[in-house]
Amino acid sequence: MTPTGEALALAVEGKLDTRVRPLLQIHGGEVTLESVDDGHVRVRFEGACVGCPLRPVTLSLTIEREISGVAGVASVSATGVRISPHAAARLRAAFSGHLEAGSPASKGADDG
């Protein structure tokens, strides 16, 4: 059964806590879960990430990559961050040979 509502939000928070926040916190960044609505997850960058020009990279290569693996998640976006699906796909393709699936340490190169 695919989690929905509060169960989905808890699953997303768990993934953020274990796979995303530790990477961002290394350099003073943070991410907050703003909402989960019908499988659409929205996060907000905080701390050192607020003005970082690499937020779209972090969103595509780290956050979206981890959160989209949660059953029930249809899309991931971040407040104040715009990246086209085409640009996100090009980023993932460019880094696909450099990122090991499932390895949080391999995603530390995107300093957003």
Residue 67 has pLDDT above 90, yes or no: yes
Q: Cα–Cα distance between 63 and 107 in angstroms, integer?
A: 10
Model pTM? 0.82
Residue 6 has pLDDT above 90, yes or no: yes
Q: Cα–Cα distance between 82 and 71 in angstroms, integer?
A: 24
Q: Cα–Cα distance between 19 and 52 in angstroms, integer?
A: 20
- Catalogue the E-assigned strands of the chain: 29-37, 40-47, 75-78
pLDDT digits 0-9 by tens, 68-104 = 999 999 999 999 999 999 999 999 899 888 766 554 5
pLDDT digits 0-9 by tens, 8-38 = 999 999 999 999 999 999 999 999 999 999 9
